Chain A
Amino acid sequence: MKIALMGQPNSGKSTIFNHVAGYKAVTSNFPGKTVKYEISKFKLFGQVSELVDLPGTYSLTSFDLAELEARKYLLNNNIDVVVNVLDASLLSRSLELTLQLLELKLPMVICLNMIDEAERKGIRIDIEKLSEILGVPVVPAVAVKGKGVKELFSVANQIGNEKKSGKVLKFSKDVEDVVIQLTRQIEQKEHEKKSNIPIRFLALKYLENDNFFIKNLEISDKKVLKNVEHFQNLLKESHGRHSDVVISSERHHLSMNIYESVVLLEKPHKSFIDYLDNVLMHPFLGYIFLGLIFYLFFNLVFSVGKMVEEPLLDYFYRLIPLMEKSIDPGTLSFSIISGIIQGLAGGIAIVLPYLFPFLFGLAILEDLGYLPRIAFLLDAFLHKIGLHGKAIIPFMLGYGCTVPAIMATRILESERDRFIASVLATMIPCAARMTIIFALVAFYISPQAALAVYILNIIVIIISGKVMSSLLPEVTPGMILEIPAYHIPSIKVALAKTWLRMKEFIFVAWPLLVVGSTVLSLLKYFKTDILINQFFSPVTLLLGLPIVVGTTLVFGILRKELSMLMLIQALGTNNVISVMSATQIMTFTIFIIFYIPCVATIAVLWKEIGSKRTMFTIVFTFLIALFLGTVTRFVY
Chain B
Amino acid sequence: MVITLDKSKENQKVKVISISGGWGVRQRLGCLGIHPGDMITIKRSAIMQGPILTIIHGNQVALGRGVASRIFVEVI
Contacts and interface: CB of A to CB of B under 8 A. Distances in A.
A63 B33 contact: no
Contacts of B57: 90, 92-93
A477 B46 contact: no
Q: Which of B32, B46, B63 has the most CB of A within 10 A?
A: B46
Interface string A472-494: 00011111111111000000000
A60 to B, nearest CB: 10
A307 B25 CA distance: 50
A209 B26 CA distance: 12
Given A92-B33, A249-B35, A380-B47, A480 B65 contact: no
A584 to B, nearest CB: 40
Q: How large is the interface on B (under 10, 10 to 19, 20 to 34, 35 or more residues)?
A: 35 or more
Nearest to B47: A283
B51 A389 contact: yes
B58 A90 contact: yes
Nearest to A87: B59
Contact of B62 (A90, A96, A121, A479): A479
A271 to B, nearest CB: 16
Interface stretch (A193-201, A326-334, A370-378, A459-467): A370-378
Nearest to B66: A478
Contacts of A380: 46-51
A69 interface: no
A485 B28 CA distance: 20
Interface string A60-92: 010100000000000000000000000001101
Contacts of B58: 89-90, 121
B64 A379 contact: yes
B42 interface: no
Contacts of A475: 66
A381 B64 CA distance: 12
A248 B38 CA distance: 13
Given A245-B19, A380-B49, A93 B67 contact: no
B50 A477 contact: no
A108 to B, nearest CB: 20
Given A92-B33, A376-B46, A63 B64 contact: no
Contacts of B38: 252
Contact of B51 (A96, A121, A249, A479): A479
A283 B44 contact: yes
A323 B20 CA distance: 75
Contacts of B24: 63, 413, 477
Interface string A178-218: 00000000000000000000000000000011010000000
A58 interface: yes
Interface in A354-379: 372, 375-377, 379
A36 interface: no
A241 interface: yes
B61 A483 contact: yes
Contacts of B23: 209, 211, 242, 244
Interface in B17-57: 18-19, 23-33, 35-38, 44-51, 53, 57
Given A59-B27, A92-B57, A482-B59, A281 B33 contact: no
A501 interface: no
A121 B57 CA distance: 12
A245 B51 CA distance: 24
B68 to A, nearest CB: 8
A175 B43 CA distance: 35
Nearest to B31: A58
Interface in A427-482: 475-482
B36 A479 contact: no
Contacts of A388: 64
A524 to B, nearest CB: 55
A10 to B, nearest CB: 11
B66 A249 contact: no
A376 B62 CA distance: 7
Given A375-B62, A380-B50, A483-B61, A245 B25 contact: no
B64 to A, nearest CB: 3
B35 A252 contact: yes
A59 B36 contact: no
B28 A480 contact: yes
Given A479-B62, A479-B67, A482-B32, A245 B26 contact: yes
Contacts of B31: 58-59, 63, 93, 96, 248
Contact of A379 (B33, B36, B62): B62
Contacts of B67: 477-480
B60 interface: yes
A478 B65 contact: yes
Contacts of A209: 23
A61 B27 contact: yes
A481 B66 contact: no
A379 B27 contact: no
B27 A252 contact: no
Nearest to B28: A480
A93 B33 contact: yes
B51 A376 contact: yes
Contacts of A92: 33, 57
Q: Which of B27, B28, B60, B66 has the most CB of A within 10 A?
A: B27
Contacts of B66: 475-478
B33 A252 contact: yes
B64 A479 contact: yes
Given A281-B44, A379-B46, A480 B64 contact: yes
Contacts of A485: 60
A541 B10 CA distance: 59
Q: Which of B35, B49, B53 has the most CB of A within 10 A?
A: B35
B53 A379 contact: no
25 contacts: A59-B27, A59-B31, A90-B58, A93-B31, A208-B27, A244-B30, A245-B26, A245-B35, A248-B27, A252-B30, A283-B44, A372-B62, A379-B64, A380-B49, A383-B64, A389-B64, A413-B24, A478-B67, A479-B51, A479-B67, A480-B29, A480-B62, A480-B63, A481-B61, A482-B32
Interface of B: 18-19, 23-33, 35-38, 44-51, 53, 57-67
Given A93-B57, A379-B51, A476-B66, 11 more contacts: A58-B31, A63-B28, A242-B23, A242-B26, A248-B27, A248-B35, A282-B44, A283-B44, A380-B46, A389-B51, A480-B29
Closest A-B pairs by Cβ, 9 of them:
A478-B64, A58-B31, A478-B66, A380-B50, A479-B64, A248-B30, A483-B60, A478-B67, A380-B48
